[in-house]
Structure 1
Amino acid sequence: MESIIPIKGNVQHQITLDPTVWIFDDRRIDLETFFTADYVEKDEIEEYKRDMGAHWSREIMEGATFPPTLKSEKKYEKTRMLTGTFGMLLKHFVQNAKPAQDARTLILETSDGQEHTFPIAQADELVLKFSEKGKPILENGPVYVLFKDGSNLKDPIRNVNAIRID
């Protein structure tokens, strides 16, 4: 099984996706809470500004020392990464590939010869699940494609080996 997934077709930039490194990507979403809670996608720039402001305020109030909770926060995050179930929204990658203005469809090609076709606007509604309980998806992977509404949680699209934009 190949773990690289190309985005090809009617795009300005043909790119390849490597789901094995997404665990380190800040855009990853925790699928254990994504389908149960009201998920709100965060504005990364605003979140960065808020975090930097809080860090600056903490340094002014406490000095440049690290609080005792920082070590436990890092340990918690590491444990969560090693045991969690994560996904990535497909829209990030489709945007980076820059589909041509006349592109209309997004096709998920699978290793068993099937094609799953969606309007390109529906890329916002697709989630690439790349990790299950801290382990990469090896069987029928490297990703499972889920709908954002959770309607195919029990039967995701499997064996995706390419994404084609037409």
Structure 2
Amino acid sequence: MIVPITGNVTYTITLDPTVWIFDDRKILLDEAFSDKKEDNIQEDELEKASRRFNQEVYQQKINPPVNKSISRLEGQKFLENSYVMPILEFLNHAEINENATSATLVTANGAEQQVPLQALKECFLLFAVDGKPLKDDGPVHFLYRDGSNRENPIKGVEKIIID
């Protein structure tokens, strides 16, 4: 149930979609392709930048982060919805080399799907349907940001190789 990002990157990283259900960066599948979400993403990026700045400036005064406790109602909501995760932040951590142009998605059945690097940076990874991980055809499904393959995503993505 893990997805490594390898190839033409500075750091090979491993994604674990099973823990994303508690990640604040996840997006409801129903909201992922709406225009309203674009505004929220821009606001979220500004908020994240502000938090990073504050952490760097006041790093000596900050206590270790404490996870926000999840109420019973929030926990129930997690188990009823389908979620996607934007991949861009993970790609930034892997530090894609400048000469990279595309990515290869390797699926559970061994098939390989070539995608442009820009499409990969803007994609969503579907990791939970009705609050449950994708065990049968997972660990993740690849969805283009424009939703063009929403009805027919690339299923069973087990590895991402940057070319």
TM-score (norm: length of structure 1): 0.77
Match of 1:156 in 2: 153
What is residue 33 of structure 2 aligned with on the other side?
35
Q: Relative to structure 1, is the Cα distance of residues 135 and 118 closer, same or farther in structure 2, using a 3 angstrom cutoff? A: same
Larger radius of gyration: 1
**Which residue does the alignment assign to 1:11?**
9
Letter in 1 for 2:83: F
Q: Distance in 2 between matches of 1:46 and 1:145?
A: 27
Q: In structure 2, list runs of 5 or more residues that go unmatched.
A: 52-68
User: Aligned in 2, Cα 1:44/1:75: closer, same or farther, shift over 3 Å?
Assistant: farther
The alignment status of 1:115 with 2:116, answered yes or no, reads no
1:129 corresponds to 2:126: yes
Task: For structure 1, list consecutive stretches of 5 or more residues without a partner in the other structure.
Answer: 51-70
State, as a whole percentage, how many aligned pairs show the same letter.
40
Verify the 8 A CA contact 2:21 2:131 in the aligned structure 1: no
Within 5 A, what are the aligned runs for 1:13-92? 13-36=11-34, 38-40=36-38, 41=41, 42-44=43-45, 46=47, 74-92=71-89
Matched, 1:99 2:100: no
Task: Supply the distance in 1 between the matched residues of 2:135 and 2:76 (Cα, whole angstroms).
Answer: 21
What amino acid maps onto 1:116 in structure 2?
Answer: Q
Does structure 1 retain, via aligned residues, the 8 Å contact 2:126–2:142? yes
Greater shift in the superposed pair: 134-143 or 113-122: 113-122
Give, in whole Å, the separation in 1 of the partners of 2:102 and 2:11: 16
1:59-115, CA deviations, whole angstroms, 9 ceiling, x for partnerless residues? xxxxxxxxxxxx9x9343222112111010121211111011111111111122221
Structure 1 residues 13-32: Cα deviation after superposition (integer angstroms, max 9, x where no partner): 00001100011111111112
Shift of 1:160: 0.9
Shift, 1:124, TM fit: 2.8
Normalising by structure 2, what TM-score? Answer: 0.78
After superposition, the CA RMSD in angstroms is: 2.3
| Aligned-pair CA distance for 1:33 | 2.2
**Cα–Cα, structure 1 residues 133 and 48, in superposed 2: closer, same or farther, change >3 Å?**
farther
